[in-house]
Chain A
Amino acid sequence: MTSKELILKNIKTNNVVQDTSLPDYSNFGLTFEDKHSHFSTMLESVGGKALFIKKEELEETIKSLYPDEKLITSNIEGFSLANFDANEEADPHNLKDIDLAVVKGEFAVAENGAVWVKNRDNRHRSLYFIAQNIILVLEKSAIVNNMHEAYELISFGEPSYGAFISGPSKTADIEQSLVIGAHGPKSGYVIFVE
């Protein structure tokens, strides 16, 4: 008997767990009158910041946030500050010197300040983590109340990777002191454009 067969057999033998039905999440969960404002509060509480701007102000805004960053990559069409195309690189190790990544987000979640990213226009999933700083850019209208609504919008048809990102990377492993910037980005702006 293979280990797989043995495990499956042991699961079925005298399993005393009573079956129950699975929950239904339609119309379930906290909602907000002003989703953007709640999102901003939640993001700031984890060391990030949300900005609301017009589409044409994107370059100017980012330039003022990060005037000194050298290596900049982006998967946003026509973003003129980018000087490095991460998608051209075959080896993700070559992304190690990126100072700033300006990346498309799919949608935001008001209840926890998270943004869903999926690598359709981003060749390397490591980009979200290896860049010293990251800015997630998304349409102002792309926001949901809670995680139940969020998972309604997500699917995994083909092999892929997706993540909820909420603020910069952080740790409190040294005597519970919060330090922003553990292994991933040291800052985490989310920019909503109209």
Chain B
Amino acid sequence: MSVLHDHPAKAKEFVANDERMHWHDQALWFVREKRDKASKTIPEWETLRRYADQIKSHTMANLDKYLLEFEKNANEKGITVHFAKDAKEHNEIVHRILSENNVKKVVKSKSMLTEECHLNPYLESKGMEVIDTDLGERIVQLRNEPPSHIVLPAIHLKEQDVSDTFHEKMGTEKGNYDPTYLTRAARADLRQKFLDADAGITGVNFAIANTGGVVVCTNEGNADMGASLPKLHIACMGIEKVIPRLQDLSVFTRLLARSATGQAITSYTSHFHGPVEGGQMHIVIVDNKRTPFLQSESYKKALNCIRCGACMNTCPIYRRSGGHSYDYVIPGPIGSTLGTFRDPKKHKTLSFACTLCGSCSNVCPVKIDLDSQLYTHRQDLREKNIISNQKRLSMQFASWLMSKPALFDFAGKVARKVVPLLPKFMIYNRFNVWGKQRDIPTMPKKSFKEIYKEEFGNDK
């Protein structure tokens, strides 16, 4: 197996720098706390989540109908709609539109779909220049790295790292770490790129079936600059981005930014319903292994994700292992379930990068059952026999033992007596992976069952 797709190994590299690991953990926890504060200001928050779940489920049940309605209405607004079955076709369509318009320079705003399809390297191989314009994405692009978070692409970097990169690539002052100085430098550099660009590519947050337009949410204004200065705008979206009605946006615009960063709304929520004057607008709708989710009872809800990143910010594993340890275009709990479903062999370690604490499901604005999905993945992987022998055998042993209550009680009793007497090397050795950096808890005198019997044994 490729060493690249090994979450524990990659996480080990990340936690080796203890100070940075704790800093990363705190930085994301801070965002999670902002989310909590923002959600608490809305008394109807839980109803909103339920509505969002309802809208998404209704849409997925009728997705073919809504995609057709969207296409028809978009065409009426002068927008050309393309369908792509996979990443390859998506890239070819985008390239064809660009080359038909003699495009050399492209500015692109954040789009996880184009990351998934590896659009940048494809267009670059055809001789085009593609500039990522979201500041975080620009930083990682200059460093030749993938984003480590879907909302905060450069969250793994400190200001010194950014300063060094900008000094090397843009000639900013060496050792000047001031975020305002660095942001201004990027603004000046990218402003020229916007003015020189022949086309703008954006992602899509929501596509509205009954109006035929798309909505893009940013704080920087980069998507809008890129989509409104050049004559050509291409918006790329997965099939799951469509929603039925314009009013349904009221639910998602209230949930998205509050869940993502704790803002009440993004600085810009732009509704594109047609090309700029004398220009063209194209929308590419991509499947790329999305439809199989609709056929799965266990994983169908993963398609409802609105990419807010809340599950990452709250995840104790993500916060301490960093986005790059996942080796999938989307990290964190949602990325783990999407990646494992799409390619279980390649991503077989991801569903184990989870403590099953359930925090992700609690913060998810569209109520995706993330922790259950990750738990189910583990069983599916065992069923398909693609987990390591160590995991398989211990799961087999545990399920055998737990299915025999008398034996389980007896084993517990023995362990409580014997373990405290054992010498250290018998407990902490190479077979106890869990105990590598942790002490096992002190053995209690009695089991829960025994305590319960003593305290409440007589209650009927």
Contact = CB atoms under 8 A, between A and B. Distances in A.
B267 interface: yes
A171 B263 CA distance: 12
Given A16-B294, A130-B229, A111 B264 contact: yes
A12 B295 contact: no
A105 interface: no
B10 interface: no
B304 to A, nearest CB: 9
B187 A17 contact: no
Range for the number of chain A residues in contact with chain B: 35 or more
A78 interface: no
B245 A161 contact: no
A176 B300 contact: no
Contacts of B22: none
A16 B154 contact: no
A130 to B, nearest CB: 7
Given A20-B57, A92-B276, A173 B136 contact: yes
Given A42-B264, A113-B264, A171-B219, A6 B248 contact: no
A21 B434 CA distance: 47
B228 A175 contact: no
B448 to A, nearest CB: 38
Interface stretch (B11-19, B156-164, B391-399, B414-422): B156-164
Interface residues of B, number: 95
A167 B30 CA distance: 22
Contacts of A146: 250, 254
Q: Which of B68, B133, B272 has the most CB of A within 10 A?
A: B272
Interface stretch (A57-65, A69-77, A135-143, A152-160): A152-160
A166 B265 CA distance: 7
A19 B61 contact: yes
B224 interface: yes
Given A165-B267, A169-B219, A182-B219, A7 B83 contact: yes
Contacts of B179: 174-175, 177, 179
Contact of A156 (B62, B83, B211): B211
Contact of A129 (B212, B225, B296): B225
Given A128-B224, A159-B274, A93 B295 contact: no
Contacts of A16: 294-297, 300
Given A7-B287, A23-B251, A168 B267 contact: yes
Q: Which of B219, B245, B249, B267 has the most CB of A within 10 A?
A: B267
Contact of B187 (A23, A42, A182): A182
A80 interface: no
Q: Which of A13, A42, A113, A184 has the most CB of B within 10 A?
A: A184
A59 B197 CA distance: 36
Contacts of B373: none
Contacts of B383: none
A166 B266 contact: yes
Given A8-B68, A19-B62, A169 B249 contact: no
Contact of A163 (B134, B220, B224): B224
A35 interface: no
Given A174-B179, A184-B268, A17 B135 contact: no
A114 B267 CA distance: 8
Given A160-B273, A166-B266, A182-B221, A23 B295 contact: no
Given A173-B136, A179-B180, A181-B187, A164 B268 contact: yes
Contact of B154 (A124, A174, A181): A174
B388 to A, nearest CB: 31
Contacts of B368: none
B68 A130 contact: no
Contact of A11 (B31, B225, B273, B291): B291
Interface of A: 2-4, 6-8, 10-23, 25, 28-30, 42, 45-46, 90, 92-93, 96, 109, 111-114, 123-126, 128-130, 146-148, 150-152, 154-156, 158-177, 179, 181-185
13 contacts: A6-B85, A7-B85, A14-B295, A16-B294, A23-B54, A29-B250, A45-B264, A92-B228, A161-B271, A174-B135, A175-B179, A177-B179, A184-B221
